[in-house]
Structure 1
Amino acid sequence: MSSGITSGETARGGIPPTKVLVVDDEPDLEALVLQKFRRRIRDGTVAFLFARDGLEALALLAEHPDVDLVVSDINMPRMDGLTLLARLQEADEKVSTVIVSAYGDMTNIRTAMNRGAFDFLTKPIDFSDFETTVDRTVLHVRALREARRRQAAAERAHASLSRYFSPNLAERLAADASSLAEGGHRRDVASVFTDIAGFTGLVENLDPALLAELLNGYLAEMTGIVFAHEGTVAKIVGDAIHVLFGAPGEQPDHATRAVACALALDAAAQAFRAQWAARGVALGATRIGVHAGPAIVGNFGGGRFFDYTAYGDTINTAARLEGANKALGTRICASAAVAERAEGFLGRPIGDLVLRGKTEALRTFEPLGAEAFAAPGTARYIEAFEKLAAGDPTAMPAFASLVGLAADDHLASFHLRRLLNGETGTRIDLRTA
């Protein structure tokens, strides 16, 4: 067994040489190969190893796992080339193999190609053909290795990023490192904010271990719902979650997704509250705000701190709508911008809100599922709201009747209180609420 050339083991420019293992029992072949490739060996662009049969070849490959190519004769003692080829194909990291056979021995050549040989050469070997085959095979091998390297790097990056980002964002960032570049771009998005009412007080009074169990379970369930709707969790601060639809990838139906997600989050949060109520923990309702419009999205924060987020009035308005639920008595508050863009939107009007930091009123709605929208109380509420909008004095008894039938209809109660306090119309100023 020969380890071949040791000189030229480091190619110019620090690039390792192409390493070729020649497996043949002809005694003169090693000298011929070294003579024909002497210039490239001296330049450090190619290096050869030699073995006399398949067993020696396997031993050399165990010592030199960086071999790029195996060139093997078929007829050899102890282990022939076809058996060697089969053994090489069983390995996790398959080495590309070129089979050498006598001219006209198409049966063995066909067998070799069926067993996974990359190419073949015929004897007597034409060394120009040999060199061309080696170069072509090595280009193929290195392209495969680079593809595997990139895939492995992407998988490692994805595994790491998935701990912090939603799967769609993690996949994008892992596949395209340029997405990590600082800066942002303008895009139409739907923004969803959620927050648990009274959570700060709960934190102060709950056992730390129980708090950790509650918060981890809540966030796992809520983010799972976001991911199921292909949203991106832009930020989690304590119990509050900021979700984006339409970024990082464009989603033409981002408003539809946002509304569906908000309804699913509300249902899950209510069920989660019931579970913990049974354990004696009074968890507040999850309030949700939804708005759609242009925003600047991207990576902000600098080279050592990654913060994929969004900025702009659309984001601020969604956050304000989440907070508006407290005064309104609702759990979900969505803007008309969302309602108009969401396919098949179902809901009841809340009013024209003047939010903190704003002077213009924003028409808002309470999204409803199909069952809740079909309930008789919804139609009666919409009729009462139309009277409110028209300045009809019968709006007050209409809302009073609703509250009498459903005392837990907090939105109807909110409008009834307004009317009892002398307010009229649908304009609701929340700047001091």
Structure 2
Amino acid sequence: MKFGWIDLRGVPAEQHDAVVEAAIHAKLEGIVADDPGALAGLPPTVKRVLLPSQQLFPPAAAGAGEDVPAAPDVLLTRLTHSDDLDRLRLEVAGTDHEAAAFVDVVDDPTLKLACSAARELPYTVVQFQDPTKIPLEIVIAAADKTPGQLVCRADDLEEAGIILDVLEKGSEGVMFAPRDANEVFALAELLRVQTPELDLTTLTVRSIEHNGLGDRVCVDTSTHFAEDEGILVGSYAHGFILCVSETHPLPYMPTRPFRVNAGALHSYTLGLDNRTNYLSELRAGSPILAVGADGRTRRVVVGRIKLESRPLLTIKAVADDGTEVSLTVQDDWHVRVLGPGAAVLNVTELKQGDKLLGYVSTEKRHVGWPVKEYCVEK
């Protein structure tokens, strides 16, 4: 799971209270400060992260009778040279402190230091001087399959989103100084990068109807689909059929593993956050949901859509519980859907009784969002 740390050091003073309250409400993991007093009073649900302005290594224990704030959950030590990492290990050996580091990557030696820290320490926070994400890619690769948590500092929300997607997996955490509470909630949304698995169902074909000319949409994404992946499309907001990508060979054209010949322009596709979009609404940059035959999902981005007039046919199917599903697609042999076991089925060869993979939702929809209201689609 991805997590976020709110960096109070860069938050306007008049926004501190609102930002902290928003971070707690949004269930972000941690709050970072350079003053232990700023972390006092935080609930136990929030990790207290101390990043002192100057101190390099864990402080000595306070003397008897001294009034000191409670120890932070994570104490970040600034590392600037490779021998700092060795010294940090010695300093925390035999203490209750976990070794955690902050590395400002400005050149090749500090990049190597960040890689070493990320491989060895429970927490490593990195920030980068240059705008390229190549150094972050190197640190992520170096820390791959290690138990430590890598946190990357972001200058703004746009950079936070990019950081989370670097090398497809991104860093485990993002440290960000929001301008106000609204940006805290926006960061929380960005962190919800995992998409849920879907419980796909088997549909039984009832009929195939040839409709004549209409407009259909091809959805071209900015990623490769797997052979058992596609997108869920349907004429009704409560039921969808899994349309496979053009990953499989065709006799008269090259494969296009980024494309799904999805359906007529009125059709819904199931997207992120259980929201539907009309195919006609999609455009370059729209996020949609890629779905595998086993129900796994992932976020993909539309590169473009192609809307063209073609002969259409309508597939009508039913789920075991009696829910009716309908999908109108291009009336051509090369358009395909998936059946149980990821079987690739040409739509023009479908017949009554054939089995398809689909998804049934009990909710009705209003502007794409699920609502509890009376609604009939047929």
Q: If the length of structure 1 is used for normalisation, what is the TM-score?
A: 0.25
Higher helix share: 1
Larger radius of gyration: 1
Hey, which of these two has a bigger chunk of strand by percent?
Answer: 2
TM-score by length of 2: 0.28
